[in-house]
Amino acid sequence: MAKLDRLLDDAERLSHDGKSVLSRGEYTDKPILFTASQMKSFTPDRIMKMRRAFSTRSVYLADPHIFVGQAKMMEDFDDDCVQKTEYSSAFPSYAAMNTLQLRTYFTWRTKLRGGQLEKTSLSYAYVYIFELLNLVGASTPDEAFTKLRDFFSAYGELDPSVLVYRARWLTDFAVTYRLTKRYAELPYENSLQRSGAVLSQPDKYADDEILRAVEDFSSYSLMHSSSYKKNPALVARVAGELVKEVDRLFASSGGFAGHYCRRKKKSYFTFAGAVVESRPVTGCVNVDLPDGRSFYCLNGHWLATSFEKNAAASRDLGALIRCADIIIREKLKLKSAIKPVPLNISLKNSLSACVDRVFEQAKRQSIKKKIDSVKIDFSNVDAIRSASDITGEKLMTEEDKTGSPGAENALNSPALGADKESGGEKIENADCGKSESPVGTTVGASVVTKHGSAGTKTVEENDEPLWKRILRLLLDGGNAEKEAAAAGIPISMVCDEINEMFYDEFCDIVIDFDGDKPFIISDYAEELRGKLT
């Protein structure tokens, strides 16, 4: 008796608004939301008939058979209830909803079918998905797949939590109904499945995608190495070329994915987590998806084969990627070295050739980029020439225009070594004694001098090609920029010409730039000096 008194006291303390719900021998009045007549008028006839036709004594309210029967009965039902309420259930179904929840759902579905998508309780959204998975609201499996895919995409923007089962249920639906044309549209259930698909067909993907896929399966991370931080594009290019090369090398035994991306077969339950009526499957069914997954069914028992990370395969791939990183670091001349690991000789040769090829291509692209960056604008050449002619004419004196005897005297002056007796028709050759040529016809033999900062040089000496003079100045530490400017040619253009000239011999550029200042690469300095002798 004492225990009963304590229970009544506790109930009174927990009562609403301080009023007793339970008391010793007393009951309190509570407001009725709907009278019997109001409830009858509030519940549409179709809903009442559905409940009577599929009443169940089962404790499992989300029974797929009952759900499908009720869904088909309510397939074309529309509602416009003003009142709304929320609904939450682990396995949502019509049988678990009260009248207001049913009317809220059907009103939301009516708007959805009319093109008006609104966010609602997640359980309502799942009920709509379950309808389509059971072909309710669609005349064919292909139409149902399209509606499912579009709904997941659109409603996923309002509530991303609806996407948890998207990949699995769309895959199960396409496999169950053999929608072969839809296999290529199926989303990946997780990142490992996508990475396996990339490495199964590396020729279809970009280098950075291949590198990310390798990261998922390899025990050694190339993306966290110093070489990747130094030149991520180049390292991604090496990874892409390496995977493609190994894929060709092992083409007869499963390719790259066959060696480094293991797949595992295990029991599989279609439409896990969904309220879907099972379809009887007789005989044997075998489905292979383009991404490398496969499904096998024998008399209703399903097996699925998918990518899984394997410790041994991960170590083998890690060793290959580690060796690649060692070679890349050597090529980039990074000081941080890593310990080498043993590797199959054929793989090692393929790896070395692959890295060499990628670096060679990178050098050629670098040279081409520098050459392409030099642009000369010829659009104003005619205007410049016209302005030059006008300026030159304005600078000419009257004597220049009419001709002056002073010019003739200058040509015959003793300073040019002219023979007085010959009247200026012959001059003395600077190197070869007497010459019978008229004055000025042999430029190389003229004694006309040019004074520069290094002393007096003959025109013959300055007839040395500009590239040689620039190369000599760079080797000797002279002012190559000034020499190029005096010739009216950008220093970068001259250096690019020299690089092109010697590329076939050195397979590399011989002049590089530190900002705008050119310098000779020290490895080639002595050989280049020999070219000038």
Q: Which of 250, 228, 249 shows the shortest CA–CA distance to 239?
A: 228
284-288/294-298 β-pairing: antiparallel
Tokens of 176: 């169950």
Long-range contacts made by residues 323-329, C-beta under 8 angstroms, separation at least 24?
323/348, 323/351, 324/222, 324/238, 324/239, 324/242, 324/351, 324/355, 325/220, 325/222, 325/225, 325/227, 327/351, 327/352, 327/355, 328/227, 328/234, 328/235, 328/238, 328/355, 329/225, 329/226, 329/227
CA distance 302 to 293: 13
The C-alpha angle with vertex 359 and arms to 358 and 363, in degrees rounded to 5, equals 120
List helix spans (H) across 374-426.
381-395, 398-402, 405-411
pLDDT band (50, 70, 90) for residue 409: very low
Which of 436 and 367 is assigned the larger pLDDT? 367
pLDDT band (50, 70, 90) for residue 16: very low
| Rounded average pLDDT over 278-291 | 84
Task: Please compute Rg for the chain using Cα positions.
Answer: 44
Q: Which of 164, 196, 124 shows the shortest CA–CA distance to 272?
A: 164
Percentage of the chain modeled with pLDDT above 90 = 41
End-to-end C-alpha distance for the chain, whole angstroms: 122
Partners of residue 287 on adjacent β-strands: 295
Which of 33-42, 184-193, 209-218, 390-399 tops mean pLDDT?
209-218
Percentage of the chain modeled with pLDDT above 70 = 74
CA distance 305 to 247: 21
Least confident segment among 283-292, 366-375, 485-494:
366-375
Name the helix (H) or strand (E) containing 316: helix 311-332
The residue written with tokens 């093109």 in the block is 115
Q: Note whether 507 and 525 are within 8 A (CB).
A: no
Tokens of 379: 């659009």
| Phi, psi torsion values for 485, nearest 5 degrees | -65, -40
Residue 335 gets which letter from DSSP?
A: S
- Helix axis angle for 491-506 and 345-373, nearest 10°, is 150
CA 54 to chain centroid, in Å, comes to: 53
Q: Which of 82, 117, 72 shows the shortest CA–CA distance to 103?
A: 82
Which of 127-136, 221-230, 366-375, 429-438 tops mean pLDDT?
127-136
Residue 202 gets which letter from DSSP?
A: G
Tokens of 527: 């050989």
Q: Kindly report, residue by residue over 244-275, the tens digit of the pLDDT.
A: 999 998 888 889 998 899 889 999 999 999 99
CA distance 273 to 303: 18
Is this structure's pTM higher than 0.85?
no
Partners of residue 367 on adjacent β-strands: none
CA distance 323 to 345: 12
In sequence order, the 6+-apart residues with CB closer than 8 A to the CB of 58 are 66
Which of 58-67, 341-350, 409-418 tops mean pLDDT?
341-350
List helix spans (H) across 261-404.
311-332, 345-373, 381-395, 398-402
> In sequence order, what E strands does 4-59 have?
22-23, 26-27
Q: Note whether 80 and 106 are within 8 A (CB).
A: no
| Rounded average pLDDT over 477-482 | 88
Instruction: Assess whether pLDDT exceeds 50 at residue 527.
Output: yes
Partners of residue 513 on adjacent β-strands: 518
| Phi, psi torsion values for 340, nearest 5 degrees | -70, 155
In sequence order, the 6+-apart residues with CB closer than 8 A to the CB of 342 are 319
Instruction: Assess whether pLDDT exceeds 70 at residue 150.
Output: yes
Neighbours of 77 (CB within 10 A): 14
The C-alpha angle with vertex 393 and arms to 388 and 397, in degrees rounded to 5, equals 140
CA distance 468 to 474: 10
